[in-house]
Amino acid sequence: MKPVYFLPAIGFVIVVIYLVKGLELAQERAPSFIPSVLINTPVTNFNLDAISGQQRGLSYSDLIGKVSIVNVFASWCEACKFEHKMLMRIKTNGRIPIYGINWKEKDRSSGPAWLRRYGNPYRLIGDDPNSVGAIAFGVTKAPESFVIDRKGFIRLKRTGPITPEYWENKMLPTIERLINQ
């Protein structure tokens, strides 16, 4: 057989390789590609009830006066399990309060049970079965995390889990800058 007959097959293989590599790269970068129109705008006023077993819920007024992280999580969220160790590490550091929004739980006992099992990194947790808090932050999926400044403005949004690299290279420098302002 002449080598020229193999050119279409070789071309097809090259195109497939490029497409697969492109999809892998897009998946790798996907969390940072989801912009938020709410960056540098104040959080909308919200008030969430406490999850089962907690004394207080979470509201807009809890975020005023300090730099903080708001993390949207759910027991059904696999990426939240991956992120949770990082949240516990951030809590142990003690530099910044983390507030939680337990989002769209079908069973209201699932979130509290999940926190008992994996640990609770949150200062306060709001129960958000109807997406009131999620709407205030413009949440598109869980997990999502937001850095909030002292005046209640969203200064950074992370869609997807907080990784050690993201924490060190993006989130922590943003928090330090806001704390030192």
Boundaries of domain holding 61:
34-179
Clarify whether residues 11 and 41 are in a common domain: no
Q: What pTM value is reported for the model?
A: 0.81
Instruction: Return d(Cα 82, Cα 62) in angstroms, integer.
Output: 27
Q: Are residues 90 and 171 in the same domain?
A: yes
Contact present, 105 and 74 (Cβ < 8 Å): yes
CATH of the domain at 123: 3.40.30.10
End-to-end CA distance of the chain: 73
Other CB atoms within 10 A of residue 72 CB: 26
Is the pLDDT score of 74 beyond 90? yes
Same domain, 25 and 67: no
Q: Both tokens of residue 144?
A: 């999502």
Q: Strands 68-73, 98-103: parallel, antiparallel or unpaired by DSSP?
A: parallel
Q: Are residues 140 and 169 in the same domain?
A: yes
7/73 same-domain check:
no
Q: What is the pLDDT of residue 27?
A: 47
23 and 44, same domain (yes or no): no
Are 50 and 26 part of one and the same domain?
no
Q: What is the pLDDT of residue 13?
A: 58
- Residues 6 or more apart whose CB falls under 8 angstroms from that of 76 comprise 104, 105, 106, 110
Q: What are phi and psi of 122, to 5 degrees?
A: -95, 140
Distance CA 67, CA 65 (A): 7
Give the C-alpha separation, 131 to 127, whole Å: 9
Q: How confident is the model at residue 37 (pLDDT cuts 50, 70, 90)?
A: confident
Residue 180 pLDDT more than 50? yes
Q: In this structure, are 25 and 66 located in the same domain? A: no
Confidence of residue 1 (pLDDT cuts 50, 70, 90): low
38 shares a domain with 21: no
Total of domains in the chain: 2
Residue 91: strand, helix, or coil: helix
Say yes or no: 84 and 25 in one domain.
no
pLDDT band at 94 (very low <50, low <70, confident <90, very high): confident
CB 133 within 8 A of CB 103: yes
Same domain (yes/no): 109, 83: yes
